[in-house]
Structure 1
Amino acid sequence: MKKKYNLAFLFLALFLFAQNGFSQTELSKNEYGSLIQNWLQKNKGDYNLTQNDISDLQVSSAFFSKKSKINHIYVNQAYQGVPIFNAVSSVSVKDNRVFYFANAFQSNIAAKINTITPTISAQEAIASAASEYNLGALGNVSELDSKNNEYTFSKGSISNSDIPVKLVYQLTDEGELKLAWDLSINTLSGENWYSVRVDATNGEVINMNDWVISCNFGESGHTDHTGHSKTSNAFSLFKSESSLLVDGSQYNVFALPTESPNHGPIQLVSEPANPSASPYGWHDTNGVSGAEFTFTRGNNVWAQEDVDGNDGIGASPSGGASLNFNFPLNLNQEPIGYQDVSTTNLFYINNMMHDIWHVYGFDEASGNFQQNNYGNGGVGNDHVIAQSQDGSGVNNANFATPPEGNSPRMQMYLWQPASLGTPLTINSGGTLIGSVTAAVPSTGAGADGPGNITGPSATPVTANLALVNDNSAAPTEGCNPLTNGGTVAGKIAVVLRGNCNFTQKIQNAQDAGAVGVIVVNHNNPTNDPNYVPYVNMYGVTNPVFTIPSIFVNNADGMQLINALQNGDVINGTIVESPVYFKDGSLDNSIVSHEYGHGISSRLTGGSFNANCLNNREQMGEGWSDWFALMLTMKASDLPETGRGIATYSNSQGVNGPGIRPAKYSTDLAINDYTYEDTNDNTQLGVDGQGNPVNWNDITHNIGFIWGTILWDLSWKYIEKYGYDPDLFNGTGGNNKAMQLVIDGLKLQPCGVGFVDGRDALLAADIATTGGEDQCLIWEVFAARGVGVNASQGSPFNINDQVADFTMPADTDPSLANCTTLSVDEFNTKSAFSIHPNPANNVIYISTKKNLGDVNINLIDINGRVVLSKKATLLNEAELNISTLQSGMYILNVTGNNVNINTKIIKN
């Protein structure tokens, strides 16, 4: 039941400029403006930019990153003071020089501008957008504030929040820069938060991005590794600093790294808040010791149920003055029965995502989600609104990320079970034994109404089956009093769905003495696309039914009817076999995935631009999967073992296939997808259950390939540096990979693609380590097709990517740390050659001197020997690699006089 609060107080502290987004300033007014302008002037030719292209630049946001010691400045290209939408380049200044430039500027903009004067008003643009998306009458939409070409309008009858509007130029597919009104509408249904560009000359909607990212989850013998020297059996979240507040809080949750109820038991955790990220605990908002809230609300998140699905303020479980959220959990019931646990777990994971990634740099200055930023930069007033058991949908989850200063919203849904159980078992009847329960789903719920039995009874009802007859034109539909009561009495009546209410059929069977009813669905002769194989039977009767009733699909039911008409004796049992909905709020992989969308959206292109991940090749789903995988990684995990996503909610086991085209694994036999596969906009293989995966939602499959690369990269770091279970203070390879990815997100430009993302990670490594892991990063990306010559093409075209599996040349100075050879090794290698390389079928190993008997091994990126042979290397030996997967390998040649490792690329 909803608590009837007024929503207005939620937004009292929001500033108008936060609704409009950050008020952009001229580049010249930034402390590094002159430095950046001079650098662009000197290097503009390298990016095909003219003087006019860089003469009008605005800073959309800027902050300093403590980890990398980089000043991040996000520069928006403009024309005569009007910004070009998403033409936001990332400029990184380190040690008072331009360290890295990620270009998103348009070239030759003066020739692409259509006009400088709007012919429709900002309010007319709102009306056009409302009409385009069927939002209904505007209501009282009035101007609240204006400055230059930026306005704020009231929400009227179409939006949950005030409507910001400003002039921009929108790039079209034809390469034209059209003057447009940029506005956002947070729809009343909560299903969409439209960010729209409306042509300022004719009112046509020319571009839209939905800030609500719906993830569509429901559409679908090892040896130890010696490199894991830092592993531990315990997962550690120790606080190394003194907390400003010991609040006594405790939460009964699926504590990280436990992924879900399938992966481990619920447990009580005490005072889990990190003192650096949440110095006053999880229930504070004023920065003074003492919790402001004793329920699941605080500075980082407000978790509440939304069973009604109306985005109102829902109930939040209370921990009382002691903040004791130790609620019992019994999963053998519908989720409404453990709602307090659900909301508490949602609160816990949101706070853990906040605290963990704060340590790696998703902090106040960079645009994280906090009500009070405690004086650490950024705007604040944007804690997460997280909704458990949301009633507006099923089998899904979503996250809406508006610009900084506006609260994001997370919606977690319930998930339908994979089957409806086995309420009907055929005990005897020849070939029909057990057949009805074999089809999944085969049955729907029984007659439902006040006092009625819903589905089968808890006590088994076993009897022979009898087909009803009411002596009408459709005798087996049982719409009239039965004329074969003597046959039906004491039996389970079988009735065909037809031209009367379910309750009437069941009542007629009960009146004839039946002990149970099976209603058989009609078939689908017209191939109606809305036809379903089973339904729930609802109805109210007085007096109530005293016998159980179930519904079976046509295929199974007609077997029963045909057999009964042939005179077969069939015995069956109807018994309650409950299978309950799953709760997405208990699936930590989904909750962390959704929160991850907020991280990637806020860090790409700056926190005041929520639209940088709206191009076709953007990798948001991949980052989110990776966030989920990293927080649920355990010390016992191995890189080759596949990991699924959302396996609990999808009613799969611990090792379930998940909902991606393949499991996340470094083993190419399990996951062999590469950058080449991003060009397939029709189908990307099959999912973990063997079903074709259509590219109707391309971003999920694009993201899966990016997530695969990040997963490979993380394991290469762990192989080199070991695994550390302490996610806050650890120094393992997993910690280093987490730091690298956060730093890379900050460096990349608006409209990022795979090559941009790769280059940002390489730059992040140089910024933090001086380039110690350049070779490692290149090897991973080259192995998956994002090598030195890879091309991402146009950000608006999903069919023009070019994969490449080659490493940079050995002379590339960035690879200086890849290999260190002794003098003898260097001299041997100089007399040693491999050709061709890259190769398709056979490689030839040649030498200018007799190296004698050698062992030749070919090793894949996981460290496994995939080919091996002995040879006498006098002049030349050959190795057939035709059966290997494409990618990078290490050729190892060892003997009495040689020990050489060199890279091999298989095309």
Structure 2
Amino acid sequence: MLVRWSALLPLVSSIPVICGQSIATTRYLEICSEDFLDVYHPTSVYETFGDGLDLSPSISSSSNISQTASRFLQSKIGVGATSLKLRTSFSSEVGHHLYYTQTHDGIPFANAVVHVSLTKTHKIASFSSSSNNFTQIASSKPSIKLNDVIPAIEETLGGDVVTDERLEYLARENGTAALAYVVEIQNLAGAIWYEAFIDAHSGELLSVTDFISTSTYRALPINQPNLTSRQILISNPEDLVASPLGWHNTGSFITSNTTGNNVETFKWLDPGYVYTTASKSNITTSPHPVAGNPNLTFDYPVNASLAPDFTTPAKSFPNLDAARVNAFYVLNVMHDLTWRYGFTEDAFNFQTTNLGGRGNLTKSNDPVRVSVQAEDVGVDNAFFASPADGTPGFCYMLFWDHTSPERDGAFANDILAHEYMHGVTNRMTGGGTSRCLQSTESNGLGEGWSDIMAEWTELTAAGVKDYVFGAYVAGNTTGLRSYPYSTNATINPWMYSDIETMVDPHDVGEVWANMLHNVLAFLVSEYGWIDTNKAMKDPTRREGNVVFLHLIMDALPLQPCNPTFPQARDAILQADSLRYNGVNRCRIWVTFANRGLGLNARDYINDFEVPSDC
């Protein structure tokens, strides 16, 4: 029998498994096979203001962005200045983004998030708030010691505490606020990385943030011919604007292996190793990167006829060097691409060192670490853990057993792009905490953004054709999703209302990705297409694929914590207003409305209406 936990979790020895319930403000996380943890995410009020809301002189400050935002929020939500704390902020090409937390006795609320974005001229562009007026707030002085309950929590969640404790308040569904110890629980060999909230008065496990985005794909095990190698030697691929020191310089030391400032790829030979620091000694001892020569030549051809052997004590991992190199290349390209379109050091990206004076207000020491051929974790999957800014991301690329021989996810560039995009969307939504795509609906949005990024990297012509995701690892021509992404409703029938009964964020993500596919198709038909390699290096272009990626990336910091489909749509419309003066507004509305996400769509009820002036 499945029950929802309401008391201290029982001790379990099994590794947690994550599942979801399709509720916009709630996500049920299955920690063992018979119990659920009810994770609550407050609903966000969200408003956008088109060209920008002019403020009265008593509120607006022509010189102090933070002061303007703070005064606006106090007048908007009636919370005093002493109850709001600026957590993070950054400026982008289209405006200024500030993220606040509600506080009590100087202690922040983890899930009472307030956000405001301003235009370049200090008008209000968007506002969101999940702040609360609480019926009861727990004492700010803990009545138990964390060490007394940590062993039980570690055994329950299947990992070890890897961070120091801190105190935060947690808004509860019944209108109260609990005082919580906050620690990170990690077991990388088991694909586990939680931020745990433990009641500082009762010891109850109240909530978790799941930093790992799992990509559990629907696939048919249909065998296909062996991979025909398409490897080529690519010289000097680094974008020296996004990566000024190249890919093999961390700002502290130069490497000649697959480690660098943005990405580290290796074969993880010690699954019990807790990989939490960025020291050079750890990079070169427990995880094993592949070495090049002093000229940085990494030339390892693939022999696709070889199969891995997991069963014998000796084990064998064919094409391991090539796997490490391909993952290193692709994820560095993803770093440089997303940097060009706004995922910079200021916007909480993944880098060991924030170079050239950039990212002064954000944290460093957080490259993406990639374990290829991670057979101890499983097969037929991929994972990306994206903890808060300042802690490294962690990616697992596994084998897929739907073909003979098995295929290596490290050679599936669409899956690599998909996984990296999880890190982008988790960091850029909500101001770098990675806490703001945790409800089932918003987690599904994350899956959709990741799929559409994979498609974006693979565009080859001006006509946006139906897109099949994951065909290589599936070993078939239909891929890993229910339907191809298509503008044709006969080929892909997904509508907004379909997500009401979906319990898996990956299913929800298919609906969102197909909507975005339709937006991409419209923009490319309207403005044309430029070769992806050129689009990656020159985001000032006006072709449709460039416009689309700007709208997606610009919208992420504009939207609220744990956004719904209508709120994510509104953020894209607001991004179009800020960057392109709303020129695409009506066509974007029509495109979303065609899939049920029209003007009055809410609560999973389709609506096909668009604004009257469209």
TM-score (norm 1): 0.55
Q: Does 1:35 align with 2:68?
A: yes
How far is the alpha carbon of 1:774 from its aligned partner? Answer: 0.9
How far is the alpha carbon of 1:627 from its aligned partner? Answer: 1.1
Determine the structure 1 residue equivalent to 2:14.
none
Indicate the SS of the match to 2:115.
strand
Residues 1:189 and 1:338: Cα distance change in structure 2 (over 3 Å):
closer
How far is the alpha carbon of 1:190 from its aligned partner? Answer: 4.6
Any idea what the Cα deviations from partners look like across 1:583-621, whole Å, max 9, x if unmatched? 0000001111111110001100111x1211111211111
Task: Provide the alpha-carbon RMSD of the alignment.
Answer: 2.4
Between the aligned partners of 1:264 and 1:780, the Cα distance in structure 2 is 38
Among residues 130, 144, 157, which one is paired with 1:105 in the alignment? Answer: 130
Indicate the SS of the match to 2:460.
coil
Indicate the SS of the match to 1:267.
coil
Q: Does 1:63 align with 2:28?
A: no
Residues 1:310 and 1:117: Cα distance change in structure 2 (over 3 Å):
closer
Determine the structure 2 residue equivalent to 1:278.
243
Indicate the SS of the match to 1:404.
coil
Work out whether residues 219 and 479 of structure 2, in 8 Å CA contact, stay in contact via their aligned partners in 1. Answer: no
How far is the alpha carbon of 1:192 from its aligned partner? Answer: 0.6
Residues 1:733 and 1:262: Cα distance change in structure 2 (over 3 Å):
farther
Among residues 605, 613, 629, which one is paired with 2:437 in the alignment? Answer: 613
Alignment of 1:556-635 (within 5 A): 579-607=404-432, 609-618=433-442, 619-635=445-461
Work out whether residues 247 and 260 of structure 2, in 8 Å CA contact, stay in contact via their aligned partners in 1. Answer: yes
Determine the structure 2 residue equivalent to 1:762.
573
Q: Any stretches of 5+ residues in structure 2 without a counterpart? A: 1-59, 276-285, 309-316
Any idea what the Cα deviations from partners look like across 1:354-379, whole Å, max 9, x if unmatched? 01111101111111111111121132
Residues 1:756 and 1:55: Cα distance change in structure 2 (over 3 Å):
farther
Determine the structure 1 residue equivalent to 2:99.
74
Among residues 736, 746, 769, which one is paired with 2:547 in the alignment? Answer: 736
Any idea what the Cα deviations from partners look like across 1:711-749, whole Å, max 9, x if unmatched? 111111101110111222143100110011011001111
**Bigger mean CA deviation after superposition, 341-350 or 125-134:** 125-134
Between the aligned partners of 1:194 and 1:112, the Cα distance in structure 2 is 27
Q: Does 1:670 align with 2:491?
A: yes
Residues 1:200 and 1:802: Cα distance change in structure 2 (over 3 Å):
farther
Determine the structure 1 residue equivalent to 2:401.
416
Between the aligned partners of 1:188 and 1:384, the Cα distance in structure 2 is 14
Indicate the SS of the match to 1:390.
coil
Q: Any stretches of 5+ residues in structure 1 without a counterpart? A: 1-27, 45-49, 136-157, 221-259, 419-578, 682-694, 792-799, 816-907
Q: Does 1:370 align with 2:351?
A: yes
How far is the alpha carbon of 1:117 from its aligned partner? Answer: 3.7
How far is the alpha carbon of 1:112 from its aligned partner? Answer: 4.3
Alignment of 1:107-506 (within 5 A): 107-109=132-134, 111-124=135-148, 126-135=150-159, 158-159=160-161, 161=162, 163-187=163-187, 189-217=189-217, 265-286=230-251, 292-306=254-268, 309-310=271-272, 313-335=286-308, 336-374=317-355, 375-377=357-359, 378-392=362-376, 393-418=378-403
Residues 1:347 and 1:310: Cα distance change in structure 2 (over 3 Å):
farther
* Matched residue type, 1:399: F
Residues 1:123 and 1:296: Cα distance change in structure 2 (over 3 Å):
same
* Matched residue type, 1:38: R
Indicate the SS of the match to 1:585.
helix
Structure of higher CA gyration radius: 1
Work out whether residues 626 and 710 of structure 1, in 8 Å CA contact, stay in contact via their aligned partners in 2. Answer: yes
* Matched residue type, 1:635: A
Indicate the SS of the match to 2:417.
helix
How far is the alpha carbon of 1:57 from its aligned partner? Answer: 0.6
How far is the alpha carbon of 1:199 from its aligned partner? Answer: 1.7
Work out whether residues 64 and 72 of structure 1, in 8 Å CA contact, stay in contact via their aligned partners in 2. Answer: yes
How far is the alpha carbon of 1:809 from its aligned partner? Answer: 1.7
Between the aligned partners of 1:38 and 1:102, the Cα distance in structure 2 is 13
* Matched residue type, 2:238: A
How far is the alpha carbon of 1:98 from its aligned partner? Answer: 4.0
Between the aligned partners of 1:310 and 1:182, the Cα distance in structure 2 is 24
Any idea what the Cα deviations from partners look like across 1:228-269, whole Å, max 9, x if unmatched? xxxxxxxxxxxxxxxxxxxxxxxxxxxxxxxx9969721111
Any idea what the Cα deviations from partners look like across 1:686-732, whole Å, max 9, x if unmatched? xxxxxxxxx3xx21111111111111111111011101112221431
* Matched residue type, 1:34: Q
Any idea what the Cα deviations from partners look like across 1:104-158, whole Å, max 9, x if unmatched? 323423x2434444322333453442243254xxxxxxxxxxxxxxxxxxxxxx2
Residues 1:219 and 1:294: Cα distance change in structure 2 (over 3 Å):
same
* Matched residue type, 2:505: T
Between the aligned partners of 2:522 and 2:227, the Cα distance in structure 1 is 28
Work out whether residues 399 and 597 of structure 1, in 8 Å CA contact, stay in contact via their aligned partners in 2. Answer: yes
Determine the structure 2 residue equivalent to 1:680.
501
Indicate the SS of the match to 1:624.
helix
Residues 1:310 and 1:634: Cα distance change in structure 2 (over 3 Å):
farther
Work out whether residues 87 and 750 of structure 1, in 8 Å CA contact, stay in contact via their aligned partners in 2. Answer: no
Determine the structure 1 residue equivalent to 2:516.
710
Any idea what the Cα deviations from partners look like across 1:20-79, whole Å, max 9, x if unmatched? xxxxxxxx9x943331232224333xxxxx446x751111111111x21x1111111223
Work out whether residues 226 and 405 of structure 2, in 8 Å CA contact, stay in contact via their aligned partners in 1. Answer: no
Work out whether residues 197 and 207 of structure 1, in 8 Å CA contact, stay in contact via their aligned partners in 2. Answer: yes
Between the aligned partners of 2:335 and 2:400, the Cα distance in structure 1 is 26
Between the aligned partners of 1:737 and 1:164, the Cα distance in structure 2 is 41
Aligned length: 520
How far is the alpha carbon of 1:648 from its aligned partner? Answer: 0.9
Between the aligned partners of 2:126 and 2:67, the Cα distance in structure 1 is 15
Indicate the SS of the match to 1:649.
helix
User: What's the % identity of the aligned pairs?
Assistant: 31
Determine the structure 2 residue equivalent to 1:541.
none
Between the aligned partners of 1:724 and 1:357, the Cα distance in structure 2 is 17
Between the aligned partners of 1:307 and 1:219, the Cα distance in structure 2 is 29
Work out whether residues 573 and 585 of structure 2, in 8 Å CA contact, stay in contact via their aligned partners in 1. Answer: yes
Indicate the SS of the match to 2:606.
coil
Work out whether residues 308 and 390 of structure 1, in 8 Å CA contact, stay in contact via their aligned partners in 2. Answer: no
Between the aligned partners of 1:407 and 1:680, the Cα distance in structure 2 is 35
Determine the structure 2 residue equivalent to 1:454.
none
Between the aligned partners of 2:136 and 2:608, the Cα distance in structure 1 is 36
Residues 1:190 and 1:181: Cα distance change in structure 2 (over 3 Å):
same
Residues 1:201 and 1:702: Cα distance change in structure 2 (over 3 Å):
same
Indicate the SS of the match to 2:440.
coil
Residues 1:742 and 1:82: Cα distance change in structure 2 (over 3 Å):
same
Residues 1:668 and 1:350: Cα distance change in structure 2 (over 3 Å):
same
Among residues 525, 539, 542, which one is paired with 1:719 in the alignment? Answer: 525
Determine the structure 2 residue equivalent to 1:552.
none
Between the aligned partners of 1:762 and 1:261, the Cα distance in structure 2 is 44
Work out whether residues 448 and 509 of structure 2, in 8 Å CA contact, stay in contact via their aligned partners in 1. Answer: yes
Work out whether residues 261 and 586 of structure 1, in 8 Å CA contact, stay in contact via their aligned partners in 2. Answer: no
Alignment of 1:754-833 (within 5 A): 754-791=565-602, 800-810=603-613
Among residues 86, 94, 103, which one is paired with 2:119 in the alignment? Answer: 94
Residues 1:34 and 1:328: Cα distance change in structure 2 (over 3 Å):
closer
Between the aligned partners of 1:344 and 1:747, the Cα distance in structure 2 is 35
